Amino acid sequence: MGSECHGSVHIFLFPFMAHGHMIPVSDTAKLFASYGVKITIVTTPLNAIRFAQTTQSSKFNIQIKAIEFPSEEAGLPKGCENVDTLPSPDLVNPFFKATRLLQPQFEELLKEFKPTCIVADMVFPWATEAAAKFGIPRLVFSGTSFFAMCALDCVKVYEPYSKVSSETEPFVIPYLPGEIELTRAQLPDFIKNNVLNDVTQLLKEAREAELKSFGIIMNSFYELEPVYADFYRNELGRKAWHIGPVSLCNRETEEKVQRGKEATIDEHECLKWLDSKKPDSVVYLCFGSVADFNSTQLKEIAMALEAAGQDFIWVVRKGKDEVDEWLPEGFEERMEGKGLMIRGWAPQVLILDHPSVGGFVTHCGWNSTLEGISAGLPMVTWPLAAEQFYNEKLVAQVLKIGVGVGTQKWVRLFGDSVKKEAIVKAVSQIMVGEEAEERRSRARELGKQARRAVEEGGSSYQDFNKLIQELKSQQLG
Ligand code: UDP
């Protein structure tokens, strides 16, 4: 925790309304507040309730200001304030449009409180202009790795996907260190088809706004991706501070449990189950807050877990009240004591940090990836969408702590179907044998480096302090 008090600095945090964005912002709020920085989270009423719950375990003072979400004005059902709870994917675009309507209310708050700076999500490009009206610097909060930011930029600028003849022919990402290969199939349509639609327009504006902003806060640490942190700053010319892994600010059980949604398993029950297992023996499978699988894929995973023979915790997003018609006959009885299924929301960081957990099957969302790295775990990478295919490359190819399950196609939600055999093979490659041990020891070392980075004198600690000093000198200027 910080010894110096930075009480003169007041930061507005303005996260996008999705759990994968709100969780790291909540951790960031705690991190800043632990150093005596005054923090106000700006969000909508329903999300404010969740933030109040997740930050209450922190002993620091974090203010939350709610602004009304213009659901009806944007053609959304009342109460739709979080992209994860939209009743239909068709409402995603109206949801993004609705966030633009927040600008006047946001500006009212800026006028009233005059914070030292605002940290707004990348998907709010208008926040740079709003802050500028009041002479306030705007920082961008990046929810991903330096590696992905660099790769995205090189793909966008040099369009290597337009020089291959098929969806599966690999191309090397130009100028990006490390000879990183990708295929067109692993890119979203809105990038590779060069169309101008709402999404590409937003991405374009987000990039322009980032370039005009005061800089970008990265939830990463230098030792994890030094080549890409340097490339981002020196070659791409961006101003960035790495302050992560922010999830490491959660030290107590209660803090680790209170992240995101309410967990659907009692943490004591979960810990008791894990305590009964040998060190490094349990595989944890979870695919984040958005991804969902159809029954065929769920069945394939169940059969793979049974065949792999490892103890496991498997998070299935389907609720208890939904019929598990996809479960193989007698699966739960046979897996009694060997596997734990969590239907709904798991206390992920609590689980990953337990010594019995020895591997993580992840969709490569950046928060999950970094949480796995912080826990020193080897991973099976199962990317689906967003920038997850880039994160997979970082984990498997650059850091050499992961094995790909073999997904080849960018999809929005459901994933291409991965067969039982591929899952069994990848799980055994991170759990059993000499190569698995090598991966594990590399992962452990990275976990130690992650912890060192956030301790006093560590690289993230130093960059965090540099950022605060710069903000203070802005105040004086
Ligand atoms: N998470 C959790 N329990 C769950 C599912 C997800 O705590 O059952 C948390 C996870 O720890 C991470 C976040 O939700 O912090 C998911 O973010 P990520 O970037 O990994 O993926 P996204 O949900 O954005 O696809």
Ligand 1 near 260 CB (within 6 A): yes
pLDDT of residue 129: 94
Q: Is the model's pLDDT at 401 over the cut of 60?
A: yes
Active site residue 21: yes
CA–CA gap between residue 317 and residue 322 (Å, rounded): 10
Of the residues 23, 354, 381, 384, which should be mutated to test ligand 1's pocket, given the most ligand atoms within 8 Å of the CB? 23
Which of 47-61, 289-303, 367-381 bottoms out in mean pLDDT, i.e. has the lowest? 47-61
Q: Is the model's pLDDT at 376 over the cut of 60?
A: yes
Average pLDDT for residues 153-170, to the nearest whole number? 96
Query: Per-residue confidence at 275, pLDDT binned at 50, 70, 90?
Result: very high
Of the residues 220, 253, 348, which should be mutated to test ligand 1's pocket, given the most ligand atoms within 8 Å of the CB? 348
CA of 111 relative to ligand 1 center, distance in Å: 34
Average pLDDT for residues 297-316, to the nearest whole number? 96
Of the residues 289, 320, 343, 348, which should be mutated to test ligand 1's pocket, given the most ligand atoms within 8 Å of the CB? 289
DSSP 390-402: HHHIIIIIIS--E
Average pLDDT for residues 347-353, to the nearest whole number? 97
Ligand 1 near 19 CB (within 6 A): yes
Q: Is the model's pLDDT at 321 over the cut of 70?
A: no
Residue closest via CA to ligand 1's atom 15 equals: 367
Ligand 1 near 285 CB (within 6 A): no
CA of 5 relative to ligand 1 center, distance in Å: 32
Which of 41-50, 84-93, 126-135, 158-167 bottoms out in mean pLDDT, i.e. has the lowest? 84-93
pLDDT of residue 337: 94
Q: Which amino acid is residue 416, in one-letter code?
A: D
CA of 78 relative to ligand 1 center, distance in Å: 25
Report which ligand 1 atom has the smallest distance to the Cα of 23: 15
Ligand 1 near 288 CB (within 6 A): yes
List the catalytic residue out of 19, 27, 121, 311.
121
Query: Kind and range of the H or E element at 297?
Result: helix 295-308
Unique residue bearing structure tokens 């937003």? 202
Q: Is the model's pLDDT at 395 over the cut of 70?
A: yes
Ligand 1 near 346 CB (within 6 A): yes
Distances (CA, A) of 12 to 36, 131, 134, 193, 361: 14, 11, 13, 37, 35
Could you tell me the two tokens for 323? Answer: 């019929």
Query: Kind and range of the H or E element at 217?
Result: strand 215-218
Ligand 1 near 257 CB (within 6 A): no
Residue closest via CA to ligand 1's atom 3 equals: 346
Question: pTM of this prediction?
Answer: 0.96
Ligand 1 near 367 CB (within 6 A): yes
Considering the chain, what is the average pLDDT of its residues?
93
CA–CA gap between residue 200 and residue 344 (Å, rounded): 32
Residues 244 and 142: beta-carbon distance below 8 Å: no
pLDDT over 70 for what percent of the chain? 96
In terms of phi and psi (left: phi > 0; alpha: psi -120 to 50; beta: otherwise), the region of 380 is beta
- The string of pLDDT tens digits covering residues 114-158 is 999 999 999 999 999 999 999 999 999 989 999 999 999 999 999
Q: Is the model's pLDDT at 228 over the cut of 90?
A: yes
Active site residue 10: no
Residue closest via CA to ligand 1's atom 17 equals: 20
Which of 54-58, 83-87, 137-141 bottoms out in mean pLDDT, i.e. has the lowest? 54-58
Ligand 1 near 368 CB (within 6 A): yes
Residue 65 pairs in a beta bridge with 42
Which of 80-84, 128-132, 193-197 bottoms out in mean pLDDT, i.e. has the lowest? 193-197
List the catalytic residue out of 6, 21, 242, 354.
21
CA of 19 relative to ligand 1 center, distance in Å: 7
Query: Per-residue confidence at 58, pLDDT binned at 50, 70, 90?
Result: low
Tally Cβ neighbours within 10 Å of residue 177: 14
Q: Is the model's pLDDT at 215 over the cut of 70?
A: yes
Phi and psi dihedrals of 7, rounded to 5?
-60, -20
Report which ligand 1 atom has the smallest distance to the Cα of 349: 11
Distances (CA, A) of 136 to 65, 110, 218: 18, 9, 20
pLDDT of residue 3: 46
Query: Per-residue confidence at 433, pLDDT binned at 50, 70, 90?
Result: very high
- Directed axis angle between helix 459-476 and helix 434-454, to 10°? 30
Query: Per-residue confidence at 74, pLDDT binned at 50, 70, 90?
Result: confident
CA of 434 relative to ligand 1 center, distance in Å: 30
